[in-house]
Amino acid sequence: MKAPLLIALATLLSGPTAGAQECSRQITPTAPDSRYELLNQGAEVLDHQTRLVWQRCPAGMRWSGQSCEGSAKTMMWIDALQSARQAGPGWRLPNIKELRSLVERSCREPALNTTLFPMSGNIGYAFWSSTSDGETSIGAMTFDFVLGKLEETSKDNDEPFVRLVRYP
């Protein structure tokens, strides 16, 4: 009987929302659902504020009509650029300003509207931008949606994910 009691105690202490996104009602949402419009049977998201169209799911996944399915792919920066070229006309890796525009400042872990941009399964939170760092040619900017901050990442790092963007 000790094991079930320990499991119950651990569950109680960790709380039902451990590891879940947390949003504050005291901070005005910066990326509310009303800011976006679903396109292409929900596979794409039009941001009315920036006038950009985003792929709803990270590279490697596809929108099933209900959720992102498959496995999100991590890749090096050069592969992320190549993935964008192969995605079809107009799709590209966002610059860091565009990627940052997705931040939902009232939420954390992730700081993202997860209704429009689901984050589940093996999806991490650091995403590549097309922006090289300003000081060297070996790094590019990523945005970490868990920490809600910009990071300089070596272009040969194969851990960041990719979300493509295009103009309507």
pTM (two decimals):
0.84
How many CB atoms are located within 10 Å of the residue 92 CB? 15
- Looking at residue 110, the DSSP 8-state letter turns out to be S
- Show the domains of the chain with their CATH numbers: 31-166 (3.10.100)
pLDDT along the chain (168 residues), means of 10: 34 40 93 97 98 96 93 95 96 97 92 87 79 86 89 95 96
Q: Where are the beta strands (DSSP E) in 8-138?
A: 22-23, 36-39, 44-47, 52-55, 61-63, 68-70, 107-108, 126-132
Picking from 77, 89, 93, 98, the residue whose alpha carbon sits closest to that of residue 160 is 77
What's the pLDDT score for residue 121?
Answer: 55
